[in-house]
Structure 1
């Protein structure tokens, strides 16, 4: 029997990996850091591959793992990862399914919310000028904000891992303007942090409920603090679902032929 290539790194990918393993459907999860390995269960049939897949090592990975299908459960903003997976599926005729975490219905939330289509749009304007800004956008984009360190007071919440902390410091964030926490974060803690730092503006991604977007929208409304949401990149996926059970059915049909 071949294996499923599950592109991991998200809460949903951990749920999918567990479901596949308990269903006795062989699966290889790919993650980029060693710390992510501990987030996946140690169950027979489930393997975790650590490292960045590139055009140079991808072919060997697919062959060695006997990949029969791809389930893309990467983060909504991991555009390059999804593009590589889609290209691989197309070039090699491998069935592909994208799991997209459900988006929030913004009309259900009150508060001062501004949705922008990109970080370029945010940074080219004066939205951040002279504000006390909390960034909950992931560590990879923090270098983009380096120019704004002298024009506003920036704070960042990042994951408690070395590469996140190193990237934040390199982007000009001092230790007193950083907090390392792993989600989920309750509304009470979120609100206390914003008050403690005297935040006047929050920037986040449209990461859905799984990414805590609902909590940020709720707290922003409660504290009357403006919230800027960077919307999800628009990609055309060969096949897309927001239903975890559909992912399991997709994998079972391909591996078991029923």
Structure 2
């Protein structure tokens, strides 16, 4: 089967790396988009794989799909990266390009955790008052807590990137309240950090096992520390899967001209 055009993988996560490796193993030409140079280093160097770095707006999405003759889109972005997913879904439906969402498996509801629908619900409630709180929610969300520093002790764990550090500092976190670590975080290290900072409460996102949610649940149970989990945003994906095998089947269908939008 002659493969003209490319598959577009929206990347930047460990999930997308796995997806890309499976796709190129089956000899499909592929372009993956990531937002940072650091994320691009996660992918293998192969002749049938190209990488584009930078955030995309609607016009740039159109240009990418036209220039690369995109036959299908595999959205393997982070579960909380809703803006790119929503834009691509709208574009794919308008242009009749097959779209598949790879959604990393969710963990089952755990009685050890408190599950909230959004950061707004967290901040509107009385969950954080007079607590020593560890935030493992990503640097993008830290600005939401800027007004909270006078009321409680806040710590933030971020990725070891200059951009992330700047965002944490701008959100009011002092250097002594920031730790920069790249996942995965081991159970022993997670436990030690909570103990060292005498944490009373941890806030995380429902990022699944890939995001270390399972380890946080274990440590929370061991230490008797409440864990608040912000649920994933609700997006109506046209088609989604948790199976890598479905991605490969989707790739074959894209190059056979089967419409899966």
TM-score by length of 1: 0.96
Give the match for residue 26 of structure 1: 29
Q: CA deviation at 1:61?
A: 1.1
Question: CA deviation digits over 1:16-45, x for unaligned, max 9?
Answer: 111111211111111111111111111111
Give the match for residue 233 of structure 2: 233
The two structures, once aligned, show a CA RMSD in angstroms of 1.2
Mapped contact 2:61–2:88 kept (Cα < 8 A): no
Hey, what's the Cα distance between the residues in 1 that align with 2:198 and 2:6?
Answer: 50
Unaligned runs of 5+ residues in structure 2 are none
Mapped contact 1:77–1:233 kept (Cα < 8 A): yes
Hey, what's the Cα distance between the residues in 2 that align with 1:20 and 1:243?
Answer: 13
Mapped contact 2:10–2:75 kept (Cα < 8 A): yes
1:184-203 equivalent positions in 2, closer than 5 A: 184-203=184-203
Give the match for residue 173 of structure 1: 173
1:39 and 2:38 aligned: no
Question: CA deviation digits over 1:132-175, x for unaligned, max 9?
Answer: 00000000010000011111100011111111111001001111
Give the match for residue 16 of structure 1: 19
Q: Residue 232 of structure 1 aligns to a residue in which SS?
A: coil
Q: CA deviation at 1:256?
A: 5.4
Give the match for residue 63 of structure 1: 66
Question: CA deviation digits over 1:85-134, x for unaligned, max 9?
Answer: 10011110000000000000124xx53x1100000010112211110000
Mapped contact 1:3–1:255 kept (Cα < 8 A): no
Give the match for residue 209 of structure 2: 209
Question: CA deviation digits over 1:165-203, x for unaligned, max 9?
Answer: 110010011111111111111100000000000000000
Give the match for residue 81 of structure 1: 84
Q: Residue 90 of structure 2 aligns to a residue in which SS?
A: helix
Mapped contact 2:12–2:40 kept (Cα < 8 A): no
Mapped contact 2:5–2:69 kept (Cα < 8 A): yes
Hey, what's the Cα distance between the residues in 1 that align with 2:98 and 2:226?
Answer: 42
Hey, what's the Cα distance between the residues in 2 that align with 1:26 and 1:144?
Answer: 40
Unaligned runs of 5+ residues in structure 1 are none
Q: Which stretch shifts more, 185-194 or 49-58?
A: 49-58
1:72 and 2:78 aligned: no
TM-score by length of 2: 0.95
Q: Which stretch shifts more, 53-62 or 78-87?
A: 53-62
Mapped contact 1:8–1:29 kept (Cα < 8 A): yes
Hey, what's the Cα distance between the residues in 1 that align with 2:61 and 2:229?
Answer: 34
